[in-house]
């Protein structure tokens, strides 16, 4: 399949993309929602192709990108009874079950120097899959709700002069809400002392279901398995407060009203902060005022509402 993008008003050159689908497409048996009788269900869920090649540009000057996908076919129903066992294998040879919760997510992306050429860069994204957070069983079929994400992303880049590869790695851990708790940027896996660790703290109002608000982001020149010992280990530390409240309190609406940046760090006294911005909002959550570190004040003009409509 080919798709062309043509600039009809300017002088930009035409952009051509050609898509090639490798292997057979997948169809998954219908989920049981309790509405359609089992006798009327079939393999009608389109799960697409597991390997897609994209050729960008006109023939003779094309680049090629290939993406390997999860399709969620492991455990699918067989016509003769029982279930399928389906796996996904990237270029590193690691075998992953093609779990239903991962359907549609990319496992490996490879960029080639030219169509059919050698590998220029590639990234393998190993998934994070939480334990089930909820289940539902209807007519003997159980489905699961899970948090998903990227657990480990390993990237390789071909070095010039046939010097092999530079391989880097990023490792994420997740909390019970399926949100990133730490990110360990390992850097070049063949080198030492390149690690950078990010730690994320959240302010959560579980009653209002305000779950994803980050209240603190710490950055260290260490792996996440290490503890900072000197100020040289600390790269940054930012704190965010919400809705005019003190730092650490759960958001009420989620308006960011104060941001603090690290000003000093001591192994005994710990971090100290300076306020970098303070903000105010109107009743509809629109930003109206800002103050910087030196209390310089600026206002933000709010456009009037459309004619005939109330500003509230």
Domain ranges of the chain: 1-158, 187-312
Rounded average pLDDT over 262-275: 96
Reported as a single tens digit per residue, the pLDDT across 269-282 is 999 999 999 999 99
Per-residue confidence band for 188, with pLDDT thresholds at 50, 70 and 90:
very high
Per-residue burial over 79-109, b = 16 or more CB atoms within 10 Å of its CB, e = otherwise: eeeeeeebebebeeeeebbbbbbbbebbbbb
Nearest to 210 by CA among 153, 251, 258: 251
> Residue 6: what pLDDT?
84
Q: Which has the minimum average pLDDT: 36-50, 66-80, 240-254, 273-287? A: 36-50
Reported as a single tens digit per residue, the pLDDT across 190-230 is 998 899 999 999 999 999 999 999 999 999 999 999 999 99
Nearest to 104 by CA among 153, 45, 34, 54: 45
* Spatial contact of 290 and 278, defined as CB atoms under 8 Å apart: yes
Residue 311: pLDDT over 70: no
| pTM summary value | 0.87
**d(C-alpha 128, C-alpha 171), whole Å:** 10
Reported as a single tens digit per residue, the pLDDT across 10-33 is 778 888 889 999 999 999 998 877
> Residue 155: what pLDDT?
97
> Residue 93: what pLDDT?
96
> Residue 215: what pLDDT?
98
Report percent pLDDT > 90 for the chain: 77
């Amino acid at each position: 399949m080919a798709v062309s993008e043509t600039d009809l008003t300017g002088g930009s050159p035409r952009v051509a993309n050609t898509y090639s689908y490798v292997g057979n497409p997948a169809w998954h048996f219908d989920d049981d929602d309790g509405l359609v009788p089992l006798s009327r269900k079939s393999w009608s869920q389109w799960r697409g192709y597991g390997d897609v090649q994209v050729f960008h540009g006109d023939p003779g000057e094309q680049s090629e990108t290939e993406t390997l996908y999860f399709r969620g076919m492991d455990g699918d129903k067989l016509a003769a009874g029982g279930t399928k066992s389906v796996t996904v294998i990237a270029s590193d040879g690691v075998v992953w079950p093609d779990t239903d919760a991962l359907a549609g997510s990319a496992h490996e992306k490879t960029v080639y120097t030219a169509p059919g050429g050698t590998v220029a860069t590639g990234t393998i994204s190993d998934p994070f899959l939480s334990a089930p957070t909820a289940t539902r069983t209807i007519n003997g079929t159980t489905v699961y709700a899970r948090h998903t994400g990227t657990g480990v992303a390993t990237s390789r880049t071909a070095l010039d002069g046939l010097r092999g590869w530079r391989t880097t790695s990023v490792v994420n851990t997740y909390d019970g809400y399926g949100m990133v708790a730490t990110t360990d940027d390992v850097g070049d896996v063949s080198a030492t002392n390149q690690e950078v660790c990010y730690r994320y703290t959240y302010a959560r109002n579980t009653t209002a279901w305000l779950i994803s608000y980050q209240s603190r982001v710490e950055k260290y020149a260490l792996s996440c398995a290490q503890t900072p010992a000197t100020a040289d280990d600390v790269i940054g530390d930012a704190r965010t407060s919400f809705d005019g409240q003190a730092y650490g309190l759960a958001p009420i609406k989620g308006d960011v009203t104060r941001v603090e940046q690290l000003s000093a760090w001591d192994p005994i006294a710990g971090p100290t902060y300076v306020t970098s911005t303070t903000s105010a909002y109107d009743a509809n959550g629109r930003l109206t005022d800002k103050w910087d570190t030196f209390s310089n004040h600026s206002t933000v003009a709010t456009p009037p509402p459309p004619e005939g409509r109330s500003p509230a």
